[in-house]
Chains A and B, each alone.
Chain A
Amino acid sequence: MSEKILEVNDLKINFHTDNGNVQAIRDVYFDLKKGETLALVGESGSGKSVTTRAIMGLLAKNAEIERGSIKFKGEELVGLDEKSFRRIRGSEIAMIFQDPMTSLDPTMKIGQQIAEPLIEHQNMSKKEAWHRALEMMNLVGIPNAEAHINDYPHQFSGGMRQRIVIAIALIDSPEVLIADEPTTALDVTIQAQIIDLMKKIQAETGTSIIFITHDLGVVAGVADRVAVMYAGQIVETGTVDEIYNYPQHPYTWGLLNSMPTTQTSRGTLEPIPGTPPDLLNPPKGDAFAPRNRYALKIDEEQQPPYFQLSPTHFAATWLLDSRAPKVEPPLTVQQRWAKYIAEHPEVTQQQAQPVEASAILTE
């Protein structure tokens, strides 16, 4: 097993608002290994972005980390002072933002914007940093980079701007790259190009990536592991294969069922009904229960623990309890299961066992 670079342990984050405390992140555990891509999947407000902002030390002023730890290469990031955080930001942990149309400074030459992290972190001379910026522009595939290094952002298309944002993130060779919905604002054809670029760069540099998205379709081609988030919690996590082909949580079923594939016939896409719960007053039991047609009585009373299905696969749903009735997942999920079970017959033999949440963290 390769070296662990980031570990988030029992993280709980509240936002103080005029209406009370919004519990945005509730007991989140995950880790990230060197060279690995972890996808955080979930709808808006599920806590994906808040988690990564906490890792970057860029939480809003009204946010408070109530408890938990974030360890980067063994160093505790929770409570780290601003100066030490600045040393890490943009150098060891870098970030790509969602909207390339607004994430570049409109009045600064792109060469300077790309070179800025180097000048900040490596004390590099401006000339040298520009030279590196030029190399970086070539690496991320900006054609005729030399002629464009003095251009301003408005002279580039959305896809090219996202390449520039990627160049900024990667110029100081970060060990962790956080990509916050990097393709959401782009055309579908450009999305594929940007994802290919990220994969190519990861293969060359061995950077670990946290890929945030609400689009399970994008995840399949990018991630090694997936963590599905709902209402500030990770409800299911596993390898891409496990999440796609042997999903256990009804929310994951819902996500997969609402996503078109090549097999989808007309009119069979099913949205998940309802809206996420109000995190000012999170429900006592399973937060997904009100939207879940498979909900059990106990879901309203008590939060489910994580049930472990494999060394990498965990799901927080009472359906996996030995006392739970057998339910029929949606048809598309049943088809996925059938294929998965055919390839891994052993999975039907074992009963999933409830475990402590910290079991998600690998040794």
Chain B
Amino acid sequence: MSGMIKYVLKRLGIILLTLIIIISITFFLMKLMPGSPLANAARLSDTQRQVIEAQYGLDKPLIVQYWNYVVNALQFNFGNSFQFQNQPVSTLIAQRIGPSAQLGIQALVFGIVFGIGLGAAAAVRRNTAADTGLSIIAVLGVSIPSFVFAALLQYYVGLKLNWLPIAGWEGFKFTILPTIALGMQPMATAARFIRTEMVDVMGSDYIELARAKGLSGSDIVWKHTLRNSLIPLVTLIGPMAVNLMTGSVVIEKIFAIPGIGGQFVSSILTNDYPLIMGTTIVYSMMLMVVLLITDIVYGLIDPRIRLSN
């Protein structure tokens, strides 16, 4: 187990390093971006502009600005927002991260659970009409962007059938449609992956041996096939989380969800540098933590990795 602790510490070190690189890249990208938060304030005199720049530290040399920013960012101090009456960026993000996290986790769970179910069903009935049907659904799910699903769900389930609220964020009922819209892509990805993986495993020697033991079809699927197909699925969770985070930016806007995604979009539109950078860094950090967790889980559930360190 000490091997595991060493591994996690090493990975955390790498995460810190990556974070510094990301902070640097976002900082300089931001400096390269055209426009300025003061661009619209044309009526400012030069003196007024200098006062404001001094107030935000924008008059200092670039390298000093950069150093200050890195040091502060690593302590989760991303400065104050330009647009929201000088509220600290960390407070703004903290207020809004709840709905985003809930939506992301719900969509991931929905996608994986239903994806495994559909994929397994297709694999067991491989080369039948049901399998083909499920494959078509999966291809549609992967190729149609989540905002199309969002609009369709809002129109049919929300407006026509009037079963669920169209937008807003006032309880679990409000989370269902965005969860489905956002979860379609991970569901389709997982279904396709599980189907391929299971068909592969079903052709393996150890499944033939399991059949030669006289095990029933369902025992073979549950104890041997599914189990061996699920392990590699864990590696997909990382990329899925990336998709969910970027997808949620759009979905939050469509369903009027008070999450960081919607706020991120408006911060870009208003050149709110501190908020853009803060959100970017928080996104990257969440992603790296998800990747770390999936790697640890992978090691825990696959005996071949667990013991060979």
Contacts and interface: CB of A to CB of B under 8 A. Distances in A.
Instruction: Say whether A associates with B.
Output: yes
Interface of A: 56, 58, 85-91, 94-95, 97-99, 102-108, 116-117, 120-121, 152, 154-155, 165, 168
A103 B213 contact: no
B302 A95 contact: no
Contacts of B213: 89-90, 94, 116-117, 120, 168
B205 A99 contact: yes
B214 A88 contact: yes
Interface of B: 204-206, 208-216, 219, 223-224, 227-228, 231, 302-304, 307-308
Contacts of A168: 209, 213
23 contacts: A58-B208, A58-B211, A85-B214, A86-B215, A86-B216, A89-B211, A94-B213, A97-B212, A99-B205, A102-B206, A103-B206, A103-B208, A104-B209, A105-B209, A105-B210, A107-B228, A107-B303, A116-B213, A117-B213, A120-B213, A120-B215, A121-B214, A154-B307
B304 A152 contact: yes
A98 B206 CA distance: 11
Contacts of B210: 105, 116
A152 B205 contact: no
B214 A91 contact: yes
Contacts of A104: 206, 209
A185 to B, nearest CB: 11
Contacts of B209: 95, 97, 103-105, 165, 168
Nearest to B223: A108
Contacts of B304: 106, 152, 154
Given A86-B216, A152-B303, A97 B208 contact: yes
A90 B212 contact: yes
Contacts, number: 77
Nearest to A116: B213
A168 B215 CA distance: 13
Contacts of B219: 120
For the complex of A and B, list the 10 residue pairs with the smallest distance between their C-beta atoms, beginning with the closest.
A90-B214, A89-B214, A90-B213, A152-B303, A102-B205, A103-B205, A95-B212, A86-B214, A105-B206, A117-B213
A85 B212 CA distance: 10
A124 to B, nearest CB: 14
Nearest to B304: A154
Nearest to A101: B205
B227 A107 contact: yes
B225 to A, nearest CB: 10
Contact of A120 (B205, B214, B227, B308): B214
B212 A89 contact: yes
Contacts of B204: 102
A117 B214 contact: yes
User: Counting chain B CB atoms within 10 Å of each CB, which of A97, A107, A121, A152 scores highest?
Assistant: A107
Contacts of B224: 105, 108
B303 A106 contact: yes
A152 B224 CA distance: 14
Nearest to B201: A105
B294 to A, nearest CB: 17
A320 to B, nearest CB: 38
A21 B224 CA distance: 33
B307 A155 contact: yes
A107 B197 CA distance: 15
Nearest to B231: A107
Nearest to B219: A120
Nearest to B206: A105
Nearest to B217: A82
A54 B289 CA distance: 52
B47 to A, nearest CB: 72
A174 to B, nearest CB: 10
Given A99-B205, A103-B206, A106-B206, A154 B211 contact: no
A94 B212 CA distance: 7
Given A97-B209, A103-B206, A120-B213, 6 more contacts: A88-B214, A89-B213, A103-B205, A106-B304, A108-B227, A152-B304
A88 B211 CA distance: 11
A152 to B, nearest CB: 4
Nearest to B212: A95
A327 to B, nearest CB: 43
B193 to A, nearest CB: 17
A119 to B, nearest CB: 9
User: Counting chain A CB atoms within 10 Å of each CB, which of B214, B216, B219, B228 scores highest?
Assistant: B214
Contacts of B214: 85-91, 117, 120-121
A58 B204 CA distance: 14
Contacts of B303: 106-107, 152, 154
A178 to B, nearest CB: 9
A167 to B, nearest CB: 12
Given A120-B215, A154-B304, A106 B228 contact: yes
Contacts of B211: 58, 89
B237 to A, nearest CB: 18
Nearest to B230: A107
Nearest to A155: B307
Contacts of A121: 214
Given A107-B302, A154-B303, A116 B215 contact: yes
A256 B162 CA distance: 81
B291 to A, nearest CB: 23
A78 B295 CA distance: 49
B301 to A, nearest CB: 8
Contacts of A94: 212-213
Nearest to A86: B214
Contacts of B215: 86, 90, 116, 120
A154 B308 CA distance: 10
Contacts of A89: 211-214
Nearest to B308: A154
A155 B307 CA distance: 9
A108 B209 CA distance: 13
